[in-house]
Chains A and B, each alone.
Chain A
Amino acid sequence: MMTIDEPRIGVYVCHCGFNISATVDVEAVRDLAAEQSGVVSARDYEFMCSNAGQDLIKRDIQENGVNRVVVAACSPLMHEPTFRAAGEEAGLNPYLVHIANIREQCAWVHEDRVAGTAKAKSLVNGAVARVAFHEPLEATRADVNPTTLIVGGGIAGIEAALNISDAGHEVYVVERQSTIGGMMARFDKTFPTLDCAACILTPKMVAADRRENIHLLTESEVESVEGFVGNFKVQIREKARFVTADCTSCGECVKVCPVSVPDPFNQYLSTRTAIHKAFPQAIPSDYTIDRQGKPPCMEACPIHQNAAGYISLIAAGRFSEAAALIRRRNPLPFICGRVCYAPCEEACSRDNVDEPVAIRGLKRFAMDWERDHGPEPVPDPPEHEYAERVAVIGSGPAGLTCAFDLARAGYKVSVFEKHDRLGGMLAVGLPSYRCPAPMVERDIEYIRKLGVEMKTGLELGHDFMLDDLTSEKPGFGYSAVFLAIGAHNGISLGVPNDDAVGVITGVEYLRNINLGRPQETGRRVAIVGGGNTAMDAARAARREGAEVTVLYRRTRAEMPAEEDEFEDAVAEGVRFEYLVAPVGVLVTDGRVSGLECVTMQLGGPDASGRPRPVPIDGSNHEREFETVIVSISQRPDSDWYGPRPHDSEPLVFSDWGTVEVDTDSLRTPVPNVFAGGDVVLGPATVVEAMGQGRRAAEAIDKYLRGRPLDEFTSHTPPPDPTLGFEDRPFEQSPSYDAIAKAPRVAMPKRPVAARLADYEEVDLGLSEEDARREAQRCLHCGACVECHSCEDICPPKAVQLDMTDTVTTLEVGQIMLATGFKSFDSARMTQYGYGRLDNVVTSLEFERMLNSTGPTVGKVLCKDGEPPRAIGIVHCVGSRDENYNRYCSRVCCMAALKFAHLAMERTDADVYQFYIDMRAFGKGYEEFYSRVLREGTTVIRGKVAEVVPSLTSNGERPHLIVRCEDTLIAKYREIPVDMVVLCNALEPQADAGEVARVFSINRSPDGFFMERHPKLDPVGTTTDGLYIAGCSQGPKDIPDTVAQAQASAARILSLIGRGQVVIDPVRATVNEKLCGGCKTCLSLCPYTAITFDDEGEVAVINDALCKGCGTCVAACPASAISGAGFTDDQILAELAGLLAPVG
């Protein structure tokens, strides 16, 4: 730093015409200054900022050796640059020139001349004292990255992008919507010229699309911004569009999408498909899929069955496609359509409206329809074939699913089944009136078609050993084994004589019935237990002609059996007795003759969380039964497991006899043996077992392909599958309470009498009409229901449902924000009835109605489809109102006049304008106003007080009544109209605050982005290199928006042209000796300019980033940071000067 000789200070006091001299005695200030030490020259002048005034200063510097300058004048905001330049021209370092602001600080805020003068003296004193300590500073420079980021793809963003790209520079345009064009794209005509918005906008959109150096990032948002003018780093999230750039926008997808959701682009006045394009001229023209999370039904399903998808297809009458979709993920569709306990229905959002959709019934319908109408489905051959062979032990749901998946992956699979019938529990455990053998056979047949080999009558541990499978013995030599032998051993009662003849477990009883083995049932049968197996056994026993009593030790509330099962059991005459438990089996002549029971009562909760049943003393009593069927629970059979050869890890069994496995991969301690289903879970549901089969298949594939056993993609249901929306199934949807209730279709069943005669299926399946009606109850959670129709139909195969968001980091030199506005929520003004009264519409809704691509293709129609007889157009809705927004929204008056013109052009309606003050401020606006007046609109000067419906009982066509004062005739009036158009205010975007924070710019009290100066820098911001344009800065019309965009572009180009930015030397520096490394400053710095040097354990300030705000200087507890231009010496001296007494 260059040293300089003794301070020789010059003080220059400005009159600023009367501005200062009227309130401040300029001469007195000058004289006081002259007396101060170090001051060699003190002058006053009428206009210091004039060239003559500046020359005074220059001359003193050059001739009188003045080396410090204090100018007592206006705010440094205005003329600091002027005087610094003057000093520089005279050869003085500009930072040795200091301003004392005696205009804004004294003259303008005081009326008392004496006080004003005194204050001015103090300020000058302070400045003189301070400037003595000033040191020369050198500004540094940094190169400017010529690439520009524009946030917001409305007309402002497009216009600026075109301007900048014209100059040959790169521009990135980030747009949140799926298309650029912004609000203007929604308008029909534009005032005052009435040219078509699309006609003047789309050419610019197309141009922006064509330009090599303009990069459009739609469905994208800026996540973070770092750096400084000329060198910003911006992180951008590009949301998955689920359609690649290969899209030719042929529109085939739209024809097959079964979903319809309210269309935001049309203000929800019409509906569109989930895969869509905002409007015909959208840019980019690629389609996009509206996907808002996964449907809960799908999430709740262990095999991730996309229920919403096939339901939507059924609703559309596309039954075979529905069946095909089901088969994509489900190897046992016929079975699941009958016996699945449907966790999907528990998760179904429709339950928030009335009852869940009958999903299981619909699946069964689709499959039965496929069976009855054909064609027989043929699985696609696997893409590749592998040499490895896999053995699956057990042909239950787990085994079959695993075999199905592995076969589709290209492996040779053999399924070993000990019984002669395939299906495991499905075949031997479930009674055929629920799960008919032919249905099981159908599903297995389909799996056979995949080349899966079924080996029946071969029992593990009896006909072969586990090791044999992986050994090289002939007929074996499998590379991996999936152990899915289920849990077929019923648990015995555990009371005296529980092994007596006539006591049998539920699974065994059902097995005997199913396999046609001899099984005596007797007249009076007791079922002990309350689970689903108990229900099955009870209903089977009824079919064997017995009187059946279910004894359960708790109450119905705790009984685990499914509601349907229970109801059918009751319907079929099964008796239920609660709070009874057997304590002994009565035996006569070596055969069961009854049970000794005790009555229970409910106590505190047990491990399962259910209340613990406690016996009541002395309540023992005896009951007579010929047969006792015990179905408390089942456990796996582990007797098959013989001693292992020493060289390999043994299997591990839990106390319950289940096989211990790694919960993710389902792998046992034996590397090539995996296990799943009931043998691992204990008794569980069909679909849970299938889920495990699927996971095992994925694990085995990974294992055989030598990939690590992690990052599994097969689905695990979350504990509580819901969407991101509190009160509705997807964003644009009406809320649950607004959705019309529709009862769930009941599954038709066989009459009870007929049921008991045989084992024919009880549920009869839904009719075509019922199925479609039921399917239409689906709410399309998350919009896209993942039916894959578009994926299948898309000619260029551009649909990719597994696409994910991408986050990219851009380096740009400057940024322009043109994020636009949101329109005022008219429902807040309850008195206008918006959202409550038909035909009260907002200006945007009316725009869409007028637009030829809108919901009414350009016709103005009431809800009842009739044209309106009279239309009331209401100005200032939410504007100029202390209760909402104080400001005038500027565009409404002209928009309202435009509406009047178009309404009169397209209808025969009388059109009323309700205005407070007609503001036609722009070029050609007043002329347009008088034109519309000539056309015959009725203008009433008066703010509308309320809109009420007409009385209906008088038989008139229902209409609306607008209440107001016609202020020009001072009369209260009630004007009958059919339609009311609310010209609602323009408001800052909902997330304007968040955006302002990300880009570190300010907002004015009205919430809009704040320009750097209201008159002299209307597009700049307090952050260098960051510009604003359009309605994000304040309400404005298209011409003003475009003008601002072009202004911003010019500012951006001028800096690119300059190529370098000057970085102000007023910034903080760290005294490393004093820095204690407490890191306090790091978090405080608003410009992230401070980093920490771990070696030196001191804070380091990046000169380029530092803005010299001083936050860290004030915060540093060790006062190790000082700000150049704001050193302690300088500030203390200034204070001393300020506080010194002045005459």
Chain B
Amino acid sequence: MKYTYYPGCSLHATGVSYDKSTRAVFAKVGAELVELEDWNCCGATSYTSVKKTVAYAIAARNLAIAEQTGDDIVAPCSACYYVLNRTRKRMAEMPELYEQVNVALAEAGLHTNLTVPVRKPLDVLVNDIGFDRIVALQTHSIADFRPACYYGCQIVRPYGAIDEDPERPMSMDRLFAALGADPVDFPPKVRCCGGMLVATSEAVAEKLCTDLLDWAVDSGANCIVTVCPLCQANLDLLNLNGSTNGSRTKMPILYFTQLVGLALGCSPDELGLQHGLVPVKIDAPRLSPSMVGAPSAHGEEI
């Protein structure tokens, strides 16, 4: 299987470990990722909030380039996933917009017919590769992990990448259960982390993330697993000052690809574990996340 890989800006910065772990896991399961040639920023939501057709044109450039190979686009960042899909949907719905955007693209000798679907890595692993294949490839136990599977918003809303029920997706939970981990019941699994508010309304974003962290602790999780670089960054930064529920809880915030990677025997470096603000203690072959609040090399330096 071959996919066009659209990392998006975050995966070259705060989300670097998502980039590494996605590549590592896809390699393990035998799915080829070819990075989209000279991709550009999708424009994100803040772009659309200001400019008109521009927002669609910027995103569409990526779709146009991707059509030259024709493989499904895999976009790990939920914001990218949302923006690219919205562009496809709206252009398909509105012939005039479709025209305008292609006129704009023509300026760079490009054109899109919206033929390439945009998907999330979780969708590909669960639906294309499948539990059986992944479990068959498992080399290491992750039985000590009690992940709180956190989906956030834009993987399920408004364009659901997985599961029918956007209120209670279970794909990730089932995946990790199949891999022998012990996912906890995490009620706020689709509640927003605040996204970009972390820059513009810090207090609000911090409250949302604190609630999430408190819930993870409450439901007995020993790590939170995410599918979006923004969620990961916002939650991870909270580890700097700990949650406001009194304790100075520290909890590893992993990308789901990192945990899958551990089960498939990828090395911590391949998976970019070193980039997490709360490290994961690994005593192979049996792995376990550092226990809640455990001191750690990086932890002290922070």
Contacts and interface: CB of A to CB of B under 8 A. Distances in A.
Interface in B205-241: 214-215, 217-218
B218 A953 contact: yes
A949 B165 CA distance: 19
B187 interface: yes
13 contacts: A830-B165, A830-B167, A830-B168, A831-B167, A948-B187, A948-B188, A949-B187, A951-B214, A951-B215, A951-B218, A952-B218, A953-B217, A953-B218
The 6 closest A-B pairs by CB, nearest first: A830-B167, A953-B218, A951-B218, A830-B168, A831-B167, A948-B187
A527 B175 CA distance: 48
Interface string A947-970: 011011100000000000000000
By secondary structure, the A interface counts as mixed
Interface string B147-183: 0000000000000000001011000000000000000
B169 to A, nearest CB: 10
Residue from the set A831, A948, A952, A953 with the largest chain B CB neighbour count within 10 Å: A953
A952 B184 CA distance: 14
Contacts of A831: 167
Q: What interface size band does chain B fall in?
A: under 10
A548 B215 CA distance: 63
A191 B273 CA distance: 63
By secondary structure, the B interface counts as loop
A831 B187 CA distance: 10
Nearest to A831: B167
Nearest to A951: B218
Contacts of A952: 218
A948 B186 CA distance: 11
B94 to A, nearest CB: 22
A594 to B, nearest CB: 45
Q: What interface size band does chain A fall in?
A: under 10
Contacts of B218: 951-953
Interface of B: 165, 167-168, 187-188, 214-215, 217-218
A1018 to B, nearest CB: 38
Nearest to A950: B218
Given A830-B168, A831-B167, A952-B218, 10 more contacts: A830-B165, A830-B167, A948-B187, A948-B188, A949-B187, A951-B214, A951-B215, A951-B218, A953-B217, A953-B218
Contacts of B214: 951
A953 B215 CA distance: 9
A949 B217 CA distance: 14
Nearest to A952: B218
Nearest to B167: A830
Interface string A815-833: 0000000000000001100
Contacts of A949: 187
A948 B168 CA distance: 12
Nearest to A949: B187
B168 to A, nearest CB: 5
B6 to A, nearest CB: 31
B124 to A, nearest CB: 25
Interface in A921-964: 948-949, 951-953
A830 B218 CA distance: 21
Contacts of B215: 951
Contacts of B217: 953
Interface string A37-77: 00000000000000000000000000000000000000000
Nearest to A833: B187
A429 B214 CA distance: 69
A949 B219 CA distance: 11
A830 B214 CA distance: 22
A369 B286 CA distance: 50
Contacts of A830: 165, 167-168
Nearest to B219: A952
Nearest to B188: A948
A830 B167 CA distance: 6
A948 B167 CA distance: 12
A953 B165 CA distance: 28
A948 B190 CA distance: 12
B221 to A, nearest CB: 12
B232 to A, nearest CB: 23
Contacts of A953: 217-218
A830 B169 CA distance: 11
Contacts of A951: 214-215, 218
B243 to A, nearest CB: 12
Contacts of B188: 948
Contacts of B167: 830-831
A831 B168 CA distance: 8
A1130 to B, nearest CB: 47
